């Protein structure tokens, strides 16, 4: 039950506007946000009989699946709206808000993953475009490369040999 409570806290932290159109996987005739989790947790508490406990475990696992799908639906919708607002005209044609009410776990996960991949490629392309349009800046030169070498040594510059002297001495 602790897992369900944590999941419930998580989906409550997701803005409700991203969750409102999603049907429940466990109760397909209900909107997922209308399902009273607390009432179900009370109804399916551990009982005195092993059969009751098995049923409770199954129902609780189904509720976990239901809540995780709700979070995936809400996250998908959030990504969709974020992409629409931040980078308009980059929505993939197969991705529409009306398609998000699927009750198939596999389809929901696949759709969410495809949305992440698409958004990642759009952002990567956007970054590449931004880099290409930015003017190239000259690399700073080191101070030593800007100075011209002195051809003769004086008492002030006699710390080490100049390049000309060094080459001559190596011959």
pLDDT of residue 41: 82
* Burial of 149 from C-beta contacts in 10 A (0-12 / 13-18 / 19+): exposed
Residue with tokens 């005209």: 89
- What residue spans define the domains of the chain? 2-131
Using 70 as the pLDDT threshold, list the residues of the chain that sit under it.
1-2, 11-20, 90-102, 135-171
pLDDT of residue 111: 86
Neighbours of 144 (CB within 10 A): 7
Q: What is the pLDDT of residue 83?
A: 81
**pLDDT for residue 108:** 84
């Amino acid at each position: 039950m602790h897992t369900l409570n944590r999941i419930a806290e998580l989906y409550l932290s997701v803005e409700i506007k991203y969750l409102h159109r999603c049907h429940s996987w466990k109760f397909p005739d209900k909107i997922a946000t209308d399902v009273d989790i607390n009432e179900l947790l009370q109804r399916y508490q551990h009982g005195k009989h092993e059969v009751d406990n098995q049923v409770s475990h199954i129902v609780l696992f189904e509720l976990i699946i239901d809540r995780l799908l709700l979070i995936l639906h809400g996250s998908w919708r959030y990504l969709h709206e974020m992409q629409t607002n931040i980078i308009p005209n980059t929505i993939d044609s197969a991705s529409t808000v009306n398609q998000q009410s699927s009750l198939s776990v596999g389809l929901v996960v696949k759709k969410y993953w495809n949305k992440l991949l698409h958004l990642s490629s759009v952002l990567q392309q956007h970054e590449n475009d931004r880099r290409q349009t930015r003017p190239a800046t000259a690399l700073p030169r080191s101070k030593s490369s800007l100075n011209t070498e002195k051809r003769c040594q004086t008492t002030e510059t006699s710390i080490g040999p100049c390049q000309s002297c060094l080459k001559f001495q190596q011959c």
